[in-house]
């Protein structure tokens, strides 16, 4: 069987925590914003036990395309739950990836496409949502159900049946920096797959 190595990011086992991160030497010294503990958490939380699809999807979620006043890509890195703008070199160094891999991801971001690992595979493929976004979706749905139950929010129709689209609009409002990565179809599919056994009405048209 052919062995396919991960070209977009080094394998988790090959990353040495005591290996120094090359300074980006940009005007803001982006790499200096992240301590050794911060850098280790990035790898532990987002790379360990993740597939190539999941890692690429996570990295692409940290890249934004800015069109005005001129076209350019904006790069970010996570420190705990905060998203920090960093330069391209810091993005590469903090995530132990490469310039070639980042170029591929920016090309996909510009096309609004999801990165997929097609090495050695044929036929249909599927999109992989980054793990932290899946957790965010799950937590928001739980919030909606509890808020609806106690009357804090109204996500229902005239029959008090849940309208998933209203829940999704709430998700967009609460997570403005992430919602573009989560389409309504995915949100609704996750809801029906993981919460269908709950005791409440669901509007079939939502």
pLDDT digits (tens, 9 = 90+) for 122-179: 434 444 567 778 888 888 988 888 888 888 888 877 666 778 888 999 998 888 877 7
* H helical segments located in the chain: 36-46, 52-61, 88-94, 99-110, 131-150, 164-174, 184-195
Its pTM stands at 0.54
Helix (H, G, I), strand (E, B), or coil: what is residue 89? helix
Task: Locate the domains of the chain by residue range.
Answer: 12-110, 131-195
The residue with tokens 């006043």 is 69
What are the CA-CA distances from residue 128 to residues 46, 80, 81, 86, 134 (Å)?
A: 14, 22, 21, 25, 10
Instruction: Report d(CA 97, CA 91) in Å as an integer.
Output: 8
Percent of the chain with pLDDT over 90: 17
Give the integer Cα–Cα distance in Å for 5 and 47.
15
Across the range 190-203, mean pLDDT stands at 67
Concatenating the DSSP letter of every residue in 126-158 gives: -----HHHHHHHHHHHHHHHHHHHHTSS--B-T
pLDDT class of 189 with cuts at 50, 70, 90:
confident
């Amino acid at each position: 069987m052919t062995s396919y190595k991960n070209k977009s990011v080094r394998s988790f086992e090959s990353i040495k925590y005591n290996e120094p991160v090359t300074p980006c030497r940009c005007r803001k010294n982006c790499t200096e914003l992240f301590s050794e503990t911060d850098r280790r958490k990035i790898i532990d939380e987002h790379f360990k036990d993740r597939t190539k699809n999941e890692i690429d999807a996570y990295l692409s979620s940290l890249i934004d395309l800015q069109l005005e006043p001129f076209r350019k890509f904006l790069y970010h890195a996570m420190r705990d739950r905060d998203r920090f703008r960093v330069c391209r070199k810091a993005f590469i160094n903090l995530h132990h990836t490469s310039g070639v891999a980042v170029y591929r991801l920016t090309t996909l971001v510009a096309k609004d496409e999801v990165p997929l690992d097609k090495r050695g595979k044929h036929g249909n493929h599927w999109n992989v949502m980054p793990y932290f976004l899946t957790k965010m979706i799950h937590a928001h749905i739980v919030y909606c159900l509890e808020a609806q139950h106690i009357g804090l929010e109204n996500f229902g129709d005239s029959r008090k049946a849940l309208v998933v689209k209203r829940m999704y609009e709430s998700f967009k409002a609460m997570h403005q920096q992430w919602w573009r990565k989560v389409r309504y179809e995915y949100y609704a599919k996750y809801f029906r797959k993981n919460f269908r056994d709950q005791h409440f009405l669901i509007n079939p048209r939502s």
